[in-house]
Amino acid sequence: MREEYIKLIKEYIKLKPEYRHTLDEIKANVLSVGATETEFEQAIKEITGLPTPSIVLIQTIKPQIQAIKKEKYYKEIHDKASGFLKNLNGRFKRNKRWFAASFLSAVVATSFSFVNFKLPPQTSNNIVQVSRKIIENKTKFPIVYANSMPIDAEKTFSFKPVNDIRLTVTNKPRREVLGFFPYWMLPIEEKISLDTLTTISLFAIEIDGTGNIVTQNSEGKLDGGWTMWQSPELNTLIKRAKNQNIKIYLTLKSFSNENIVNLALNDESQKSFISNALYLVNSKNLDGVNIDFEYTGEVNLEIKKGFTRLITNLNSELKRQIPESVLTIDTFLVSGSENGIFDIQALSRESDAFVIMGYDMHTPLGDPGPVSAMGGTTNIVGYVQGYLEKAPPEKIILAVPYYGYDWPADSNAEQRVKILPFAEILELSQDFKLAWDETSQTPHFNYTEDGIKRVVHFDNVRSLGIKYDFINKKDLRGVGIWALGYDGLNSDLQKLILDKFSD
């Protein structure tokens, strides 16, 4: 692998984005300037410390991009590039995917600027020049939601509690407290307290573009969600929750734009999806479905209406078969105010609640900053108001983070960003002074590791208390938690829920 390409990809990804897209577009873009798939995957791994997430690639781009990059004279390359882009633009028009075509056009115009000269070999200086051009053109880069990064469950529960106080819970909260239970926490499910919850959602079974269940990942291994679904430990968790009168939903997820579009527009895919969803819910006697379809970018009206129709049909059949069941939809913080796949006003009539993902305002792929800010450029207060103008408060759940991010203070440092569960942050922060940001209403602290200065942004009792007061003030349906077990053996966050939401 070539280090200069890995550095380019990392610089490209770390640029502050203006909107959210997906990794497939980043990958296509960096391939267009000569990087390889292996170099891309290494760059992602170095940034996040994890293997590359599942990526849906536009496979037809790759061979033609490589052909364009051969060392030939400008005119020959320009003709080939122009023909390719014309063909690509038509293909993308048909598929409503404009971003890659416009980006590639800009790259070709930038890269082949010397008439009748041979393309220079890919040197480090040349890579930097291309990177600078990308920056100057203010290309929009994707944010990849990192909230579904697995954590080390055993390690999280290895930290001693700061305050070893056990709670006795006599009453359930008066608002909904929805905790997401990710499949990677299942091995230690018996250690995770459910006492302060009204609902849990099992995260997650993935759905493909035909409406079928994804049982294997791209590497041919059993999918984590499917493995959870078949595990005896899940049955134990479900039984324990039901004994505590806790409702149980199943999260059905798709993070692929292509698959979501196909589900929105194809009747047969919709039928398969609804049939599979109802089978899963009925087979384990669950109480509802949570939809986590994270389509990113703008959509046309046809796709938007198609997604609303998908939710309408699912809700209708869910209520027919299980009249008391609940359908919730996970939505981006900005979805109440910006154009995207979620028609909040229409979906409000066809579902029971929105779970607003009120986190990841700063991620491992960008600069350090508050993960869940109450004030500032991107903030909960302003964007929730956008929802309240289109949906009643009893249909809004604000989800909050039980995690934080640990960045190198110098963005150029060759150190990865870490995702830390609340229990680990509490342990790490004991020896350092906390700082408070009055604008975002969140804490952070600095420390040094191996000579590298680092900064951790997170939420604690103080900042979450402010968010819970906001939920009460706006009379919202309740709060969502990403994710259960991230507080380890500590009980402070559970106590806070009882203090803020119990009578």
Q: Kindly list the structural domains of the chain, giving each domain's residue range(s) and its CATH number in brackets, ordered by start.
A: 3-136 (no CATH), 177-402+459-501 (3.20.20.80)
pLDDT band at 366 (very low <50, low <70, confident <90, very high): confident
pLDDT reading at 242 higher than 60: yes
Per-residue pLDDT, 143: 34
pLDDT in tens, 159-173: 988 766 555 666 789
Whole-model pTM: value is 0.74
pLDDT the model gives residue 112: 34
Residue 410 banded pLDDT, cuts 50, 70, 90:
confident
Whether 6 shows a pLDDT value over 90: the answer reads no
User: Which residues, in sequence order, are CB contacts of 187 under 8 Å at separation 6+?
Assistant: 153, 154, 233
Nearest to 182 by CA among 480, 399, 484, 494: 484
For residue 415, what pLDDT band results from cuts at 50, 70 and 90? confident
Dist CA 181 CA 485 (whole Å): 8
Question: Taking residues 278-305, what's their average pLDDT?
Answer: 96
As a three-state string, the secondary structure of 13-30 is HHCCCCCCCCHHHHHHHH
Kind of pairing between the strands at 452-457 and 403-408: antiparallel
**Cα 447 versus chain centre, distance:** 27
Q: What is the pLDDT of residues 179-205, one digit of tens each?
A: 999 999 999 999 999 999 999 999 999
Token duo for residue 389: 């103008």
Q: Region 299-314: what's the mean pLDDT?
A: 97
The DSSP element (H or E) to which 99 belongs, if any, is helix 99-111
In angstroms, what CA-CA distances link 87 with 36, 64, 108, 268, 334? 23, 11, 15, 29, 34
Q: What percent of the chain has pLDDT over 90?
A: 62
Comparing 146 with 266, the larger pLDDT belongs to: 266
Per residue in 320-332, pLDDT (tens digit) is: 999 999 999 999 9
Greatest C-alpha distance within the chain:
80
Top mean-pLDDT range of 79-83, 227-231, 409-413? 227-231
Q: CB within 8 A of 231, min separation 6: which ones?
A: 186
The string of pLDDT tens digits covering residues 418-427 is 999 999 999 9
